[in-house]
Amino acid sequence: MKAMILAAGRGERLRPLTDTLPKPLLEVAGHALIEHHVIRLRQEGYTRLIINHAWLGSRIEERLGDGSRHGVEITWSREGERGLETGGGIFNALALLGPAPFLIVNADIWTDYPFGSLPRNPRGLAHLVLAQNPAHNPAGDFALRDGLVSNEDDDRLTYTGIAVVRPELFAGCAPGAFPLAPLLRSAVARAQVSGEHYRGEWRDVGTPQALEELRAER
């Protein structure tokens, strides 16, 4: 299974740190955030990676190169300075990802999630990893009922930015910038999305405070 690291975000909440450095290259414990993912993915058996980038993306390419230093093969999906948002970025990379289900993971999270445990052949259009709601998202995103993700309002959990997705999720989409969330919600409404509740370590490293707290612990 191929894996795509989503690394094209501008990092507005992390400014001014991200004015001169792309968010995925912010360092924790001696490695850039994105390097932690590359290393973990390799340990879990994912060796063919696609990484998209936009803002200051050439800096990410300079840091990781072709991936050989980490024992992986990296293919780059370049979006230009403005980027294509999450959905548009994945859609833009579908030709690189191929016809089989693929893993996606946000570059700006910190987690010990075991990527190797993800289903390689999800029963619907996607499989989402959900977590307890952090302080910045108290209302959550989705509910989970008997292994199926739900749009119901009660007992919601937060989408971690980790998922397995089938290319068919993007059927009918057109090139350009668009978010992923509406596609997921539409598939969820049709009972086409499975999920799991991960109770291990997961953090959204989206603010300077969150970054400093994580660094202090490492």
What's the pLDDT at 174? 97
Structural tokens at position 214: 């994580």
pLDDT digits (tens, 9 = 90+) for 24-75: 999 998 899 999 999 999 999 999 999 999 989 999 999 999 999 999 999 9
Report helix, strand or coil for 106: strand
Q: How many CB atoms lie within 10 A of CB 90?
A: 26
The beta-strand segments (E) located in the chain are 3-6, 27-28, 31-32, 48-53, 73-78, 102-106, 109-111, 126-131, 143-145, 148-150, 158-165, 193-197, 202-204
What's the pLDDT at 11? 67
Signed CA dihedral, 199, 202, 206, 212: sign only? positive
Report helix, strand or coil for 59: helix
Indicate the range of 33-42, 85-94, 131-140 predicted with least confidence: 131-140
Rounded mean pLDDT of 104-113? 96
Structural tokens at position 113: 């999630």
What's the pLDDT at 106? 97
What's the pLDDT at 160? 98
What is the chain's mean pLDDT, rounded? 94
Helices assigned H by DSSP within 167-207: 181-189
Give CA–CA dist 162/41, Å, rounded.
Answer: 12
CATH tag for 3-217 (out of 2.40.30.130, 3.40.1710.10, 3.40.50.261, 3.90.550.10) = 3.90.550.10
Percent of the chain with pLDDT over 90: 80
